[in-house]
C-alpha cells in the first residue's frame, strides 16, 4: 500500500527530474494541494462518497497540474532551468503553496470519506478493502504513464527532449510546452497519489513534508531520473521500511535509513539500479 | 597608495553598529544583537555557497553542532561561556569536516540532497537522544553557563557588545580571507573548476577547507546563539534553519562580505513587519525567494557591484 | 469617623483630617478597585504569544477566540483596576526562536504590561529565558511539566492549567482499577511523549499495574500500521497520546488493525483528537473507548451555569464546535486555560495595585501568594489549587467515554490524585 502510493508520488518527481533536470522541492506541496482540493470537492459535490471521489480524482490532478504549468511558465522557464536557481525557486513555491493552504483551508486536519468501506477481516488482524483498491488504482495509473511515455507521440517528444533539448528544439519541438507539460504531469501524479491516500489519512496543510522526503529517497535509490529504478526502489523501500523498524527503535531506523540513502548518493550517484553515468 | 575603500566601508559598518549600541531603542537593540549572531552563521554559509559555489541544504547541522556543543558542554560538563563557545565552534568545524569528506565526493544537485539528508539525520538524532537533549522541547541554558568571566551574557548591554565583537571578528576575517590568495582560489573553484584543476589546485582540498571554515562560522554562530539567548532546542536544527542562511545570502548578495548581514537585517524586519500586518508571513518568505532568483539572483550588493561598485569585496 | 462628625461641631481641621485618613485608608487597601484614583486611564495591555501558523495553528485559533471572549467579559465588568484592557496578539509561528522574539516585541515595542499565551512546550522553553531577562511576567497555558520541574524562572508561571505530570498521575488509578493492569503505551518519540512515558509508567507501577510495552513512534511518521504488530497480545489497555496532523490516520489504522474482533481497552489523551470531530469517518472504532479531557468537550448533564456562560461567551455549542460552523471543532480541553489565566491576571493586578511596568514584580508576587481558585465564571473548568512555590496550578481531570458519538464523563479525579512533591521553590530565586 505504502509502496504503491510512494511509487506514484516518486514517479512524478522522477519524471520531472529525468526530463527537465529540475529537482522540484515543491513536489510535496503539490501532493498536499491534491489532498486539500479533494477535501473541497468532497464538501461541494453532493451525493455518495464514491461520486465525489471520482470527481476529485479527475479534477484535482487537473487543477494541480494547471498550477504547476503556470509556475513553470512564470518562474522556472525564466530561470532557464538552471538547477540551483530552480531549487531555490521551488523552495519559495513550497512556502507560498503551504501558506495558501493555511489561509484558505485552515490549520486543522480534515478527513475525506472513502468511496469503499468494506474490510477484509483475517483471524489475527484486519485489512481495509479500500487500501487494496488503492494499490490497484496506483498500478493502473503507473501503467498509463508508462504507456504514454513509450507508445505515444507525446511520450516520444518527451523522451527526445530529455536526451537533447537543443536538438529537439531544432526539430521544431516546442520545448517550453513540453517542459510545462512534464512539470504539470509530475505534479498531477503527486495529486492523484494524494487523492487516493487522503481517505486513509486526512488533508492537512503540512502533510507534504514526509512524502517529499520519501520520494527523494526513492528517486535517489532508484537512480535519478530512471522511472523503472524508481518503481523498484519504491517497492523495496515501501516493504523494507517495516522490516527495518522491527529490528531497531523506529527513530533509530529512520536515522540509519536517511544516512544510508545519503551514502548511496555519495558512493553510487547513479543509484542502485541506474546505469553508469553516460 | 589609494585609500582602501573596502576596508573603510566595513569599519564604518562596525562603527555604525557600535553607535547603535547607544542610540538604538531597546527593542531594536536586542534585535540587532540577534541579527549579528545570525549573520555570522550566514557569513559562514556564504563562504561555502557564495564564494566557493557549494550550495548546501544542510547547514542547520553545522549550526546545531555549535548550538549543542556549547549548550551540552555548559549544561553537562559545567563549562562557562568561554570554553562553551570554543567547544561549539570546534564542533561546527569538525562536523563540517565529517560532512565534507563524504558529501564533497558529489557535486551540484547530489551535493544538495546529500547535505539535506545528513542534516535530517542529525535532527532525528537530537530527538532520539531526548534523555540528554530534551529533544524538541530543548534545554534552557542556566545562568552559570552564560558567564564569560565577569561578563554576564544575559545582560542586554554585554550581550550586544559580545555579539558585535564576534560579528566584527567574523566580518574582518571574512574580508581578509576573500582578499587572500586562498580566497581567490576558492572563487576560481566556483567560476571554473576544471581550469583551476589544470592550474594545479586540488579542488577537493580547497572545497573541504572552505566547508570547514564555513562550519567554524556556523559553529560559533550556533554556540553564541545558545549562550546569549539561553535556549538550545531541536527546532533550530530543522530544515528551516538550513534555508534561512540561504535566504539571507541570496537577498544580501552571494559572494559579498556584507551581504549576509544586509540580508539578515532586511529579512528579519520584513518578517517582523509582515507578521504584524498579516498572518501570511510564510508567503512573504516564499515570494521573496522566488522574486530574488527571478529578478536579482545576485542579491542587493551583488547587483550594486555589477552596476559600478566593482571594488566591493 | 462619621459618628464623630455628627456628634461634635466639625471644625475645618477635623474634616480635612478625616478626609485624609479616608483617602489614606483607601490607598492602603490596594485590593479595592480604583475607579477614582486610577492615575492612568491608559488601557492595560496584555501581550499574547499565539500559534497562528505552524504546527500549533489549530490551537492558536481557539486560544485567540477564547482569550478575546474573556477580554470582553472583563472589559464589560469595568476592566482591571478601572482601566480598560487590550490584548495584543502576535504570531510565534510555533517556533521557539520566533517565540523569544515575540516576547521581546510585545514587551519592548508594543509596551505590554505582561505576556501570556502559548501552548507548545518548546516555544515556552525557548521564550521563558527572554521573559526572565526582560523581567516581564510570562503566564503560559501549555500543560507542560517544564514550569513545575524548575527549569524556568521566577517570571514564568502556569496558573491556568494542570501540568502533564499531575494529569497523568491523577488518571492512573482509574485506568488500573477499571480498564486493566497490563498496559501498552504508544507515544511520539520526543519530549512530550517521553513525559507521558516516564510519569505514566511510574504512576501505573504505584497502582500495582505494569506498562508491558513502550512503542515510540518517530515524529515524522504518517502511517502506523507496521507498529501495531508490536502490541503484546496480553495487553489489557492501549494508552495512546499521539499528537499532530497524523493522529486521525493513527486511530483509523488502529481500527483497521483490530477491526470488529476482540481488542484491548483503549485509553487516549484527547490531545490526539483536539480540533477533530469525534464522529469523523473512520473513527467509529473509538466507540466505547476512554479519553482524558482537561475540560469535557461535550456539555455534560450536570454542567454548571458557569460552563454554560463560558460556552456562550466563546461561541461554542454543546458538542464543542463553533456555533457558526459545526465542522469547526474547538480545542476544548486546553483553551479554557487562556480564559482562566486572563482572570488570574485581573485578580493579581488588582491585588498588586498595578499602575505600570514598574509594578510587574508585584504581579508575580501577588500570583505567588494565591493558593487556589474557586469554580465560577472566572474558572469554569472547575476549582484549582495553586502552588506559589512551583508556579503551577492543579485542577480536576475528567475521564470521558465515547458513547453514541458523544464524550460522556465517567470519572472525575480528585485534587489530591494529582499532587506530587515540589521539585522547585521559585520564590527563593531572585527577580
Q: Band of the pLDDT at B261, cuts 50, 70, 90?
A: very high
Report CB contact under 8 Å: C96, B235.
Answer: yes
The count of other CB atoms within 10 Å of the CB of residue A170 is: 9
The count of other CB atoms within 10 Å of the CB of residue C281 is: 16
What is the rounded (10 degree) CA torsion for C307, C309, C315, C320? Answer: 20
Per-residue cell: B192: 571554473
What is the rounded (10 degree) CA torsion for C288, C289, C292, C295? Answer: -30
pLDDT tens digits for A138-161?
A: 888 888 888 888 888 888 887 777
Integer Cα distance of B172 and C8 in angstroms: 85
Report CB contact under 8 Å: C258, A202.
Answer: no
Q: Is the pLDDT of residue C263 over 90?
A: no
The reply to whether C91 touches chain A by the CB within 8 Å rule is no
Give Rg (Cα) of chain B: 19
Cite the DSSP H helix spans in A152-224.
Answer: 153-163, 165-170, 175-197, 209-222
Distances (CA, A) of C35 to A11, A144, C350, C353: 70, 77, 11, 12
Q: Please, how many CA atoms are within 13 Å of residue A213, restricted to the half-sphere of its CB?
A: 20
Q: Is the pLDDT of residue C169 over 60?
A: yes
Lowest mean pLDDT among A68-72, B297-301, C154-158, C413-417: B297-301
User: Do B217 and B40 meet the contact criterion of CB atoms below 8 Å apart?
Assistant: yes
Distances (CA, A) of C71 to A159, C62, C78, C316: 64, 14, 11, 16
Q: Band of the pLDDT at C16, cuts 50, 70, 90?
A: very low
Min Cα distance A249 → chain B (Å) is 9
| Among A79, A224, A266, beta carbon nearest to B105 | A266
Min Cα distance B166 → chain C (Å) is 20
Report CB contact under 8 Å: B283, A96.
Answer: yes
- For C411, the 3-state DSSP assignment is strand
- Partners for C (CB, 8 Å, 3+ pairs)? A, B
Integer Cα distance of A74 and B299 in angstroms: 20
Q: Band of the pLDDT at C3, cuts 50, 70, 90?
A: very low
Min Cα distance C8 → chain B (Å) is 59
Kindly state the average pLDDT of the residues B44-60.
89
Q: Which residues on chain A are in Cβ contact (under 8 Å) with C248? A: 109, 111, 201-202
Q: Which residues on chain C are in Cβ contact (under 8 Å) with B270? A: none
- For B311, the 3-state DSSP assignment is coil
Q: Is the pLDDT of residue B167 over 70?
A: yes
Report CB contact under 8 Å: B286, A265.
Answer: no
pLDDT score at A231: 79
pTM: 0.83
User: Do A30 and A190 meet the contact criterion of CB atoms below 8 Å apart?
Assistant: yes
Kindly state the average pLDDT of the residues A79-96.
83
What is the percentage of chain A residues whose pLDDT exceeds 70?
A: 85
Integer Cα distance of B192 and B187 in angstroms: 9
Report CB contact under 8 Å: B136, C122.
Answer: yes
The count of other CB atoms within 10 Å of the CB of residue A124 is: 9
Mutation site for C-interface testing, chosen from B24, B116, B136 by largest number of C Cβ within 10 Å? B136
Lowest mean pLDDT among B34-48, B209-223, B238-252: B238-252
User: Do C250 and C225 meet the contact criterion of CB atoms below 8 Å apart?
Assistant: no
User: Do C349 and C334 meet the contact criterion of CB atoms below 8 Å apart?
Assistant: no
Q: Is the pLDDT of residue B155 over 60?
A: yes
Q: Which of C202, C280, C203, C269 is nearest to C241 (CA)?
A: C269
- CA geometry: angle C141, C144, C147, nearest 5 deg: 85
Q: Which of B57, B115, B48 is nearest to A84 (CA)?
A: B57
pLDDT score at A240: 64
Q: Which of A278, A15, A273, A57 is nearest to A149 (CA)?
A: A15
SS3 content of chain B, % helix, strand, coil (to 5): 75, 5, 20
pLDDT score at A257: 78
Q: Is the pLDDT of residue C427 over 80?
A: yes
Q: Is the pLDDT of residue A228 over 50?
A: yes
The reply to whether B76 touches chain C by the CB within 8 Å rule is no
Integer Cα distance of A93 and A73 in angstroms: 13
Mutation site for B-interface testing, chosen from A91, A97, A219, A267 by largest number of B Cβ within 10 Å? A91
pLDDT score at B50: 85
- Give, as one character, the DSSP assignment of residue C83: B
Integer Cα distance of C192 and A114 in angstroms: 32
Report CB contact under 8 Å: B121, A255.
Answer: yes
Q: Which backbone phi and psi does B94 adopt, to 5 degrees?
A: -65, -40
Min Cα distance C52 → chain B (Å) is 7
Min Cα distance B281 → chain A (Å) is 8
The reply to whether A48 touches chain C by the CB within 8 Å rule is no
Which residues fall within 8 angstroms of residue C330, CB to CB, at 6 or more apart? C62, C275, C297, C314, C316, C320, C321, C322
Which residues, numbered 199 to 218 in chain A, qualify as contacts with chain C under a Cβ-Cβ cut-off of 8 Å? 199-202, 204, 206-207, 209-211, 213
Name all contacts of B203-208 with Cβ < 8 Å and 24+ positions apart.
B204/B104, B206/B52, B206/B182, B207/B52, B207/B54, B207/B100, B207/B104, B208/B97, B208/B100, B208/B101, B208/B104
| Among C61, C220, C253, beta carbon nearest to A210 | C220
Kindly state the average pLDDT of the residues B287-313.
81
Nearest CA in chain A to B104: A266
pLDDT score at C21: 47
Higher pLDDT, residue B72 or A264: B72
Per-residue cell: C421: 512533591
- Partners for A (CB, 8 Å, 3+ pairs)? B, C
pLDDT score at B55: 86
B-C contacts (CB, under 8 Å): 97
pLDDT score at A44: 82
Q: Band of the pLDDT at B165, cuts 50, 70, 90?
A: very high
Longest dimension (CA), chain C: 94
Q: Which residues on chain C are in Cβ contact (under 8 Å) with A239? A: none
Q: Is the pLDDT of residue C387 over 50?
A: yes
Q: Which of B24, B37, B40 is nearest to B215 (CA)?
A: B40
Per-residue cell: B220: 560559533
Min Cα distance A48 → chain C (Å) is 13
Cite the DSSP H helix spans in C137-228.
Answer: 164-174, 191-206
pLDDT score at A247: 61
User: Do B137 and C142 meet the contact criterion of CB atoms below 8 Å apart?
Assistant: no
Kindly state the average pLDDT of the residues B199-203.
81
Report the DSSP pairing between strands C210-217 and C182-188.
parallel
Lowest mean pLDDT among C25-34, C277-286, C372-381: C25-34
pLDDT score at C40: 64
pLDDT score at A120: 60
Integer Cα distance of A183 and A181 in angstroms: 5
Q: Is the pLDDT of residue B3 over 80?
A: no
- For C85, the 3-state DSSP assignment is strand
- For C387, the 3-state DSSP assignment is strand
pLDDT tens digits for C218-248?
A: 776 777 877 888 888 888 999 988 876 677 7
User: Do C372 and C384 meet the contact criterion of CB atoms below 8 Å apart?
Assistant: yes
Per-residue cell: A234: 519504491
User: Do B57 and B116 meet the contact criterion of CB atoms below 8 Å apart?
Assistant: yes
Q: Band of the pLDDT at C15, cuts 50, 70, 90?
A: very low
- Give, as one character, the DSSP assignment of residue A275: P
Higher pLDDT, residue A200 or C329: C329
| Among A85, A103, A267, beta carbon nearest to B280 | A103
Average pLDDT, chain A: 79
Amino acid at each position: 500500500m505504502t509502496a504503491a502510493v510512494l511509487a506514484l508520488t516518486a514517479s512524478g518527481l522522477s519524471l520531472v527530474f529525468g526530463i527537465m533536470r529540475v529537482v522540484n522541492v515543491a513536489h510535496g506541496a503539490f501532493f498536499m494541494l491534491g489532498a486539500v482540493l479533494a477535501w473541497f470537492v468532497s464538501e461541494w459535490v453532493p451525493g455518495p462518497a464514491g461520486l465525489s471521489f471520482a470527481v476529485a480524482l479527475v479534477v484535482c490532478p487537473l487543477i494541480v497540474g494547471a498550477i504547476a504549468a503556470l509556475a513553470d511558465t512564470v518562474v522556472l522557464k525564466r530561470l532557464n532551468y538552471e538547477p540551483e536557481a530552480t531549487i531555490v525557486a521551488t523552495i519559495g513555491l513550497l512556502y507560498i503553496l503551504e501558506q495558501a493552504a493555511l489561509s484558505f483551508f485552515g490549520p486543522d486536519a480534515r478527513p475525506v470519506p472513502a468511496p469503499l468501506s468494506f474490510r477484509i477481516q483475517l483471524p489475527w488482524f484486519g485489512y481495509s478493502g479500500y487500501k487494496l483498491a488503492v494499490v490497484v488504482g496506483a498500478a493502473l495509473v503507473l501503467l498509463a504513464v508508462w504507456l504514454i511515455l513509450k507508445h505515444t507521440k507525446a511520450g516520444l517528444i518527451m523522451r527526445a527532449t530529455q536526451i537533447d533539448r537543443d536538438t529537439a528544439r531544432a526539430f521544431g519541438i516546442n520545448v517550453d510546452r513540453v517542459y510545462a507539460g512534464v512539470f504539470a504531469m509530475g505534479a498531477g501524479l503527486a495529486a492523484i497519489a494524494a487523492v487516493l491516500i487522503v481517505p486513509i489519512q486526512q488533508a492537512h496543510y503540512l502533510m507534504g513534508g514526509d512524502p517529499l522526503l520519501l520520494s527523494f529517497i526513492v528517486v535517489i535509490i532508484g537512480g535519478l531520473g530512471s522511472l523503472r529504478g524508481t518503481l523498484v526502489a519504491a517497492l523495496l523501500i515501501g516493504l523494507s521500511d517495516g522490516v527495518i523498524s522491527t529490528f531497531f527503535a523506529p527513530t533509530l531506523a529512520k536515522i540509519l535509513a536517511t544516512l544510508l540513502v545519503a551514502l548511496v548518493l555519495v558512493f553510487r550517484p547513479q543509484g542502485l539500479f541506474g546505469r553508469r553515468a553516460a | 597608495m589609494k585609500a582602501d575603500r573596502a576596508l573603510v566601508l566595513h569599519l564604518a559598518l562596525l562603527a555604525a553598529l557600535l553607535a547603535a549600541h547607544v542610540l538604538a531603542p531597546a527593542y531594536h537593540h536586542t534585535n540587532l544583537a540577534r541579527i549579528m549572531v545570525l549573520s555570522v552563521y550566514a557569513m559562514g554559509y556564504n563562504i561555502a555557497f557564495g564564494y566557493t559555489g557549494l550550495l548546501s541544504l544542510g547547514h542547520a547541522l553545522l549550526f546545531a553542532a555549535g548550538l549543542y556543543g556549547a549548550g551540552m558542554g555548559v549544561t553537562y560538563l559545567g563549562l562557562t561561556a568561554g570554553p562553551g563557545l570554543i567547544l561549539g565552534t570546534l564542533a561546527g568545524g569538525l562536523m563540517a569536516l565529517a560532512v565534507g569528506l563524504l558529501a564533497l565526493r558529489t557535486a551540484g544537485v547530489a551535493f544538495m540532497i546529500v547535505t539535506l539528508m545528513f542534516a535530517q539525520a542529525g535532527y532525528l538524532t537530537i530527538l532520539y537522544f531526548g534523555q540528554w537533549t530534551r529533544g524538541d522541547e530543548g534545554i534552557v541554558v542556566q545562568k552559570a553557563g552564560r558567564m564569560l568571566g565577569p561578563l554576564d551574557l544575559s545582560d542586554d548591554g554585554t550581550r550586544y557588545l559580545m555579539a558585535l565583537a564576534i560579528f566584527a571578528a567574523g566580518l574582518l576575517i571574512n574580508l581578509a580571507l576573500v582578499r587572500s590568495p586562498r580566497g581567490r582560489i576558492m572563487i576560481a573553484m566556483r567560476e571554473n573548476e576544471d581550469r583551476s584543476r589544470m592550474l594545479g589546485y586540488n579542488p577537493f582540498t580547497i572545497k573541504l577547507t572552505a566547508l570547514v571554515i564555513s562550519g567554524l562560522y556556523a559553529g560559533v554562530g550556533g554556540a553564541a546563539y545558545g549562550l546569549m539567548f539561553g535556549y538550545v532546542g531541536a527546532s533550530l536544527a530543522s530544515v528551516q534553519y538550513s534555508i534561512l542562511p540561504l535566504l539571507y545570502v541570496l537577498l544580501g548578495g552571494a559572494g559579498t562580505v556584507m551581504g549576509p548581514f544586509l540580508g539578515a537585517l532586511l529579512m528579519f524586519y520584513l518578517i517582523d513587519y509582515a507578521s504584524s500586518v498579516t498572518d501570511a508571513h510564510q508567503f512573504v518568505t516564499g515570494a521573496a525567494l522566488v522574486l530574488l532568483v527571478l529578478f536579482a539572483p545576485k542579491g542587493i550588493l551583488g547587483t550594486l557591484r555589477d552596476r559600478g561598485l566593482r571594488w566591493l569585496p | 469617623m462619621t459618628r464623630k462628625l455628627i456628634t461634635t461641631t466639625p471644625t475645618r481641621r477635623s474634616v480635612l483630617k478625616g478626609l485624609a485618613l479616608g483617602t489614606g485608608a483607601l490607598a492602603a487597601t490596594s485590593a479595592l478597585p480604583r475607579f477614582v484614583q486610577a492615575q492612568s486611564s491608559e488601557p492595560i495591555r496584555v501581550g499574547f504569544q499565539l500559534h497562528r501558523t505552524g504546527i500549533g495553528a489549530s490551537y492558536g485559533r481557539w486560544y485567540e477566540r477564547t482569550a478575546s471572549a474573556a477580554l470582553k467579559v472583563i472589559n464589560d465588568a469595568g476592566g482591571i483596576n478601572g482601566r480598560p484592557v487590550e490584548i495584543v496578539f502576535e504570531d510565534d509561528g510555533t517556533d521557539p526562536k520566533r517565540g523569544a522574539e515575540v516576547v521581546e516585541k510585545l514587551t519592548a515595542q508594543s509596551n505590554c504590561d505582561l505576556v501570556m499565551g502559548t501552548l507548545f512546550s518548546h516555544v515556552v522553553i525557548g521564550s521563558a529565558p527572554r521573559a526572565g531577562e526582560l523581567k516581564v511576567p510570562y503566564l503560559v497555558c501549555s500543560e507542560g511539566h517544564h514550569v513545575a520541574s524548575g527549569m524556568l524562572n521566577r517570571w514564568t508561571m502556569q496558573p491556568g492549567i494542570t501540568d502533564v505530570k499531575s494529569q497523568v498521575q491523577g488518571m492512573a488509578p482509574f485506568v488500573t482499577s477499571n480498564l486493566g493492569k497490563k498496559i501498552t503505551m504508544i507515544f511520539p518519540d520526543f519530549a512530550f511523549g517521553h513525559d507521558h512515558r516516564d510519569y505514566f509508567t511510574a504512576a501505573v507501577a504505584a497502582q500495582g499495574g505494569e506498562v508491558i510495552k513502550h512503542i515510540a513512534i518517530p515524529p515524522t511518521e504518517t502511517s502506523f500500521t507496521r507498529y501495531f504488530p508490536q502490541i503484546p497480545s496480553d495487553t489489557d489497555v492501549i494508552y495512546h497520546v499521539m499528537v499532530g496532523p497524523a493522529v486521525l490516520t493513527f486511530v483509523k489504522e488502529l481500527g483497521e488493525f483490530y477491526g470488529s474482533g476482540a481488542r484491548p481497552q483503549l485509553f487516549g489523551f484527547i490531545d490526539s483528537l483536539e480540533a477533530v470531530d469525534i464522529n469523523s469517518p473512520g473513527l467509529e472504532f473509538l466507540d466505547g473507548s476512554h479519553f482524558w479531557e482537561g475540560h469535557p468537550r461535550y456539555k455534560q448533564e450536570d454542567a454548571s451555569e458557569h460552563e454554560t456562560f463560558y460556552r456562550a461567551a466563546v461561541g461554542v455549542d454543546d458538542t464543542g464546535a463553533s456555533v457558526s460552523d459545526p465542522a469547526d471543532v474547538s480545542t476544548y480541553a486546553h483553551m479554557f486555560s487562556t480564559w482562566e489565566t486572563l482572570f488570574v491576571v485581573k485578580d493579581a493586578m488588582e491585588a498588586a495595585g498595578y499602575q505600570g511596568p514598574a509594578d510587574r514584580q508585584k504581579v508575580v508576587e501577588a500570583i505567588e501568594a494565591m493558593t487556589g481558585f474557586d469554580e465560577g465564571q472566572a474558572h469554569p473548568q472547575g476549582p484549582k489549587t495553586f502552588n506559589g512555590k512551583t508556579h503551577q496550578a492543579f485542577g480536576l481531570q475528567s475521564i470521558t467515554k465515547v458513547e453514541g458519538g458523544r464524550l460522556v464523563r465517567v470519572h472525575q479525579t480528585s485534587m489530591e490524585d494529582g499532587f506530587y512533591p515540589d521539585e522547585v521553590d521559585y520564590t527563593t530565586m531572585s527577580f
